[in-house]
Structure 1
Amino acid sequence: MKLSCSQSELNNALQLVSRAVSNRPTHPVLANVLLAADEVTGKLRLTGFDLSLGIQTSISASIDSSGAITLPAKLFGEIVSKLSNDSPLVLTSDETSQQVELTSKSGTYQVRGMLSDDFPELPLVENGTSFKLNPLLLSNAIKSTLFASSTDDAKQLLTGVNLTFDGYGIESAATDGHRLAVLNLNNILSDSKEIDSSIKFEKFSITLPSKSLREVEKFLSTCDISHPINFFIDKGQVVFISVEDIITIRALEGSYPNYSQLLPDTFENELEFDRKEFISSLERIAVLADQHNNVIKVTTDGSANLIKISTDAQDIGTGYESLPVSYKGDSFQIAFNVRYLLDGLKVIDSNLIKLSCNSPTTPAIFSPINSDVNFTYLVMPIQIRN
């Protein structure tokens, strides 16, 4: 293999695919990135794969001879990132050698790798269901629910985000057992005309690992929104394809909990308030709440359109803030983990928020008002011991 390419393009490609390289590989070759040069296409293809998440991208290169090799992702990436971008980089290796010679304007480096035959093939979906999705909306769907997934590996299915497709839109949901975030996007398909209304579409769901989706969300945020993302799914494998990039994810096994049954049909109490003012009050109160148990109380007074947000950090201090609200219902007091509230409120894209609840021990629902986004955030209250 012999080729020359741009330092900046190679560096950017390495940064992208290295996100799929395991920090604790089960096999030494999984700590490497695969480089494959094709003189027919004039492309250098780079791949990172940890057996769950795979990322592949291609860059243009001047290729004298085709070939492939794997190189240590961290070491090779650090070397390339520090080289000058004033002139092209030249990569050379022979068929029998497990070593690449990297020549730049300032000097030459030799990096030992492993044979490409040892690198696992990236799983691709040949059949199954496919869509063209708007990358910006897909990124929002992931970002708006990802934070609510569990970090407890013992609850493996809850460490993912559940995506439900009905042929016209996507419902994205995540829960850790204490909170639930659900977002419905009916306009995420890049072109609804592509769906033939005469064809019966089978509704289906899939749960993808949050760790992998964080990388997808970062990737989507850099995509050109004028070019749709091709989305393929088959037999527990999901593939996202952009212009030059491929991301593949292995789904989590099992049936996701029926979270819709957690959402109450009616509410006795409803509060409407300014989202930014509420967040600001919570962040100030959180300074004290974080010192003890993160618990804050929201107290309403039926005679005044105000709520009191308070905390009592034992042996440290207390604090409260008042916030104007539009309120319907009886006087009550309800307690929450302040971090759960802030996580959810920060992803809601609306100036006005509604808090709906029935009692201090039943689920509370936060939702945007006068918004095109159909978002629901459920938080379980903390029981107050008087």
Structure 2
Amino acid sequence: MKLVCSQTELNSALQLVSRAVASRPTHPVLANVLLTADAGTDRLSLTGFDLSLGIQTSLPASVDTSGAVTLPARLFGEIVSRLSSDSPITLTTDDSGEQVELTSLSGSYQMRGMPADDFPDLPLVENGTAVKLDPAALVRALRSTLFASSSDEAKQLLTGVHLRFDQTRLEAASTDGHRLAVLSVDDALQDAIANEEAPDAEGSAGLAVTLPARSLREVERLMAGWKGSDPVSLFFERGQVVVLAADQMVTSRTLEGTYPNYRQLIPESFSRTMALDRRAFVASLERIAVLADQHNNVVRIISDPSKGLIQISADAQDVGSGSESLPAQIEGEEVQIAFNVRYVLDGLKAMDAERIVLSCNAPTTPAILSPADDGAGLTYLVMPVQIRS
């Protein structure tokens, strides 16, 4: 194998695929990245795969001789990142195909790789269902829900985001048992999906899959930096999903099991609502959080309909206390309700509306945060914390 490529493009590609390289590999080759050079297309392909998440990308290269080799991802990445961006990189393998030499203006480096044949094949979905998605809709759905997924591996299904495709609509949902984020995006799909499947536990048909948050964070990162407007393709087959965008691919296993019926958790009506400025609310909560973080992260919110104000307060025992008031458009009777401040801030920061509505029925029942001007926006449910009077 012999090729010449740009240091900048190789460095970017390595940073991308290295996210899928196992930190504690079960086999030595899983600590490597696969390089495949094709003289026919003049492209260099890079692949990282930890048997659960796979990322593949390619870049233009002047390929003299086709070939493939795997190199230690960390060592290779650190060398390439430190080479001069002003000089192209020449990459050559010896006759055995395992000794690799990297040459640039800065100097030359030799590395021992492992045979490409030892590297596991990325899963390919050949007979599954294909979906074409608007990239902006996918990014919006993931940004609005990823943060609410669980980090507790014991609740494996909740460590993912549940994606539902119905006609041309995409719905994304995630929960960790304490909060729930749901976002529906109309016209997200280029081609309508026929409702051929039987209704599921939520009472609706369509295509549904739960994917690990770790995999979807890589998809979101890839989409956010992607300049194209062409649709993103998702291919589904039992246990596996492949996401294709231009010359980049992410593969992920699915999380098996029946996702909770989250729709039944959302109250149909509310006796109390508070509409207020989102940025002012975030700023107040962040200031109060300085004290709340000292004790138990709990903030108390009290509505005062007669004055049109809500009071936000925190009491950190033996440290101090604080409170702030904000103007709000309040409907319903006075209520005193407490939350984990971090959960509330996470939801507010995932919204881009100027005004939001906090809706609840009682101090111990689920509360909903949603944009005031967008009925189809993010629905964010937070369970209150029970407090002593």
TM-score bracket for the superposition, by shorter chain length: over 0.9
Q: Deviations over 1:134-160 (max 9, x none)?
A: 112211100110000111111111011
Shift of 1:94: 3.1
Larger deviation, residues 369-378 vs 23-32 = 369-378
Report the Cα distance in structure 2 between the residues aligned to 1:61 and 1:372, rounded to whole angstroms: 49
Aligned match of 1:195 = 192
Aligned match of 1:267 = 270
Residues 1:347 and 2:338 are matched in the alignment: no
Shift of 1:212: 1.3
Larger deviation, residues 218-227 vs 29-38 = 218-227
Q: Counterpart of 2:35 in 1: which secondary structure?
A: strand
Aligned match of 1:245 = 248
Larger deviation, residues 365-374 vs 327-336 = 365-374
Shift of 1:302: 3.2
Contact 1:182 1:375 in 2 (8 A): yes
Aligned match of 2:51 = 51
Q: Counterpart of 1:188 in 2: which secondary structure?
A: coil
Q: Counterpart of 1:282 in 2: which secondary structure?
A: helix
Q: Deviations over 1:121-144 (max 9, x none)?
A: 001111221122111221110011
Q: Deviations over 1:86-130 (max 9, x none)?
A: 232111113524211111122110011111111000011112211
Aligned match of 2:237 = 234
- What is the one-letter code of the residue matched to 2:366? P
Q: Deviations over 1:176-225 (max 9, x none)?
A: 00000000011212x3xx338xx554412111111111111111101124
Contact 1:134 1:225 in 2 (8 A): no
Contact 1:169 1:187 in 2 (8 A): yes
Contact 1:34 1:48 in 2 (8 A): yes
Report the Cα distance in structure 2 between the residues aligned to 1:188 and 1:224, rounded to whole angstroms: 18
Contact 2:167 2:195 in 1 (8 A): no
Structure 1 residues 372 and 39: alpha-carbon distance in aligned structure 2, compared to 1, 3 A threshold = farther
Q: Counterpart of 2:378 in 1: which secondary structure?
A: strand
Identity %: 61
Structure 1 unaligned segments of length 5 or more: list them.
none
- What is the one-letter code of the residue matched to 1:244? D
Pairing 1:100-115 to 2, within 5 Å after superposition: 100-115=100-115
Report the Cα distance in structure 1 between the residues aligned to 2:323 and 2:95, rounded to whole angstroms: 71
Pairing 1:74-93 to 2, within 5 Å after superposition: 74-93=74-93
Aligned match of 1:298 = 301
Q: Counterpart of 2:143 in 1: which secondary structure?
A: helix
Report the Cα distance in structure 1 between the residues aligned to 2:305 and 2:275, rounded to whole angstroms: 14
Contact 2:166 2:195 in 1 (8 A): no
Report the Cα distance in structure 1 between the residues aligned to 2:107 and 2:375, rounded to whole angstroms: 56
Residues 1:68 and 2:68 are matched in the alignment: yes
Q: Counterpart of 1:374 in 2: which secondary structure?
A: coil
- What is the one-letter code of the residue matched to 2:91? L
Contact 1:136 1:225 in 2 (8 A): no
Aligned match of 1:357 = 360
1:332 to 332, 335, 345: 335
Structure 2 unaligned segments of length 5 or more: list them.
198-205
Report the Cα distance in structure 1 between the residues aligned to 2:195 and 2:343, rounded to whole angstroms: 40
Aligned match of 2:18 = 18
Aligned match of 1:159 = 159
Report the Cα distance in structure 2 between the residues aligned to 1:187 and 1:195, rounded to whole angstroms: 9
Report the Cα distance in structure 2 between the residues aligned to 1:380 and 1:200, rounded to whole angstroms: 33
Pairing 1:201-240 to 2, within 5 Å after superposition: 201-202=196-197, 203-240=206-243
Larger deviation, residues 137-146 vs 364-373 = 364-373
Q: Counterpart of 1:342 in 2: which secondary structure?
A: helix
1:366 to 366, 369, 374: 369
Aligned match of 2:169 = 169
- What is the one-letter code of the residue matched to 1:71? L
Aligned match of 1:98 = 98
Runs of 4+ in structure 1 over 3 Å off: 199-202
Structure 1 residues 201 and 222: alpha-carbon distance in aligned structure 2, compared to 1, 3 A threshold = farther
Aligned match of 1:27 = 27
Report the Cα distance in structure 2 between the residues aligned to 1:93 and 1:343, rounded to whole angstroms: 49
Report the Cα distance in structure 2 between the residues aligned to 1:166 and 1:26, rounded to whole angstroms: 39
Aligned match of 2:3 = 3
Q: Deviations over 1:276-322 (max 9, x none)?
A: 11111101100111110000000112322111111110000011000
Residues 1:281 and 2:251 are matched in the alignment: no
Residues 1:316 and 2:319 are matched in the alignment: yes
Structure 1 residues 129 and 320: alpha-carbon distance in aligned structure 2, compared to 1, 3 A threshold = same
Contact 1:356 1:364 in 2 (8 A): yes
Report the Cα distance in structure 1 between the residues aligned to 2:3 and 2:216, rounded to whole angstroms: 33
Shift of 1:372: 6.7
Report the Cα distance in structure 1 between the residues aligned to 2:323 and 2:289, rounded to whole angstroms: 10
Q: Deviations over 1:30-52 (max 9, x none)?
A: 11000011111211111000111
Report the Cα distance in structure 1 between the residues aligned to 2:44 and 2:381, rounded to whole angstroms: 47
Aligned match of 1:121 = 121
- What is the one-letter code of the residue matched to 1:70? T
Larger deviation, residues 211-220 vs 170-179 = 211-220
Contact 1:166 1:201 in 2 (8 A): no
